Chain A
Amino acid sequence: MTSQASTDQAVAERSEELRRTITRLFGRSLHIRTLDTGSCASCEQEIRLLAAPHYDLHRLGFFFTPAPRHADLLMVTGPMVRAFENAARKTYDAIPDPKVVVATGACALGGVYQPDPFTRGGVGDTLPVDAWIPGCPPSPLALLQGLLVAVGRLAGKVQDLDFALNGIPQ
C-alpha cells in the first residue's frame, strides 16, 4: 500500500517533470504537420490563413512542414474516414517523440458525423489527442489560441465557462 502510494507519487513527479520539459522544448518553436482525414476543406482554408500577414503565426514560432518526420505537432481535421485510419496512424508513428496531437474542427471532435461504416466520427478513438479546438470551421484566431493551449503557452479558459446567460440574449 505504502510502496504503491510512493510509486504513484514518483510517477506523478516524473510525469510533471516530463511535461515541463516538453513545454520548454515546444515553448519557442515547433513545426506543424496538418492531416486531413476527410474534412470539407474549410478547416484547411482557415489553417492556411494562419500564415497570411494578418495572423502571421511564424511570429509565434510555429511553422508548417510537409514531412511528419520534421513535425512536432499533428493538426488533424475531419471525421477520420475509415479508409484513412491506417495512414493517420502511420503519420502519427512517423512523428518523433515528444509529439502533440490537436483535433481541429467540429468533425474531428465528433460533432457532425456519427460513427458509421465510412467514418469513425471523430479522431479521438484513433489518435491520442492532446488539445481540442471546436468550431466549424475554427477561425484563425481560435486556431492560434488552440495551438498556444496545446503547447502550454496559454491556459485554456473554456473549462471555466458555463454557457449560461443571465440577461436577455443579444
Chain B
Amino acid sequence: MPLWTLRGLRRGVVTTRYPARPDPSARLLPTPPAFRPDMLTPGLADRLVSVCPSRALARDGDMLVFDVGACTACGRCRAAAPQAAGASGEFELAATAREHLIKRIPLGGRPA
C-alpha cells in the first residue's frame, strides 16, 4: 500500500469545508495590496503607479485609484513602499459589477 494512502487514512477527509468554514490554507495565498492613506503622498503615489506592471494603480488628483480586478498581486508596490502598502489578506474578491472592484484611496500623507 502506498505511503500516501496510509497518510490519507490517518488524516481523514482532505476536502476543504469552504465556504461553510474558512479554509486554513487561505492565509498562504498571495493577495492584492491595501494602502495606508496617512502614508501616501502624491510623490509616493506616482512612484507606485509607475512600478505597477498591470495598470492596476492610477492617480486621480488627490486619490489613488486601485483597480483590484487588474491587480496581479505581484507585490512590486509593497516592495517599493513597505511603509505604505501591505497585504490585504482578502481572497474573496468576486464581484457582480466591474465598478465594485475599483477603489479610491485618499492621499492623506504630508508631502515630504
Contacts and interface: CB of A to CB of B under 8 A. Distances in A.
Given A54-B16, A134-B68, A136-B71, A158 B94 contact: yes
Contacts of A148: 19
A136 B73 contact: yes
Interface in A100-151: 106, 109-112, 114, 124, 129-136, 138-139, 141-142, 144-146, 148-150
Contact of B95 (A124, A132, A168): A132
Given A106-B72, A145-B91, A169-B34, 16 more contacts: A56-B15, A111-B67, A112-B72, A132-B98, A133-B94, A134-B70, A134-B93, A136-B71, A142-B92, A149-B95, A156-B94, A157-B92, A159-B95, A159-B97, A164-B37, A168-B36
Contact of B93 (A133, A154, A168): A133
A139 B69 CA distance: 14
Nearest to B67: A111
B109 to A, nearest CB: 13
Interface of A: 53-56, 59, 106, 109-112, 114, 124, 129-136, 138-139, 141-142, 144-146, 148-150, 154, 156-159, 161-166, 168-170
A50 B82 CA distance: 34
Interface in B22-53: 23, 25-26, 29, 32-37
Contacts of A154: 19
B94 A132 contact: yes
A4 B84 CA distance: 51
Interface residues of B, number: 49
B16 A109 contact: no
B80 interface: no
A22 to B, nearest CB: 13
A141 B26 contact: yes
Given A112-B70, A136-B72, A164-B34, A130 B91 contact: no
Contacts of B56: 111
Interface of B: 14-16, 18-19, 23, 25-26, 29, 32-37, 54-56, 66-74, 78, 82-98, 100-101, 103, 105
Nearest to A130: B96
Contacts of B69: 106, 109-111, 132, 134
Contacts of B92: 141-142, 145, 157-158
Contacts of A158: 68, 90, 92-95, 100-101
Contacts of A168: 36, 83, 86
Contact of A169 (B66, B74, B78, B98): B78
A141 B23 CA distance: 8
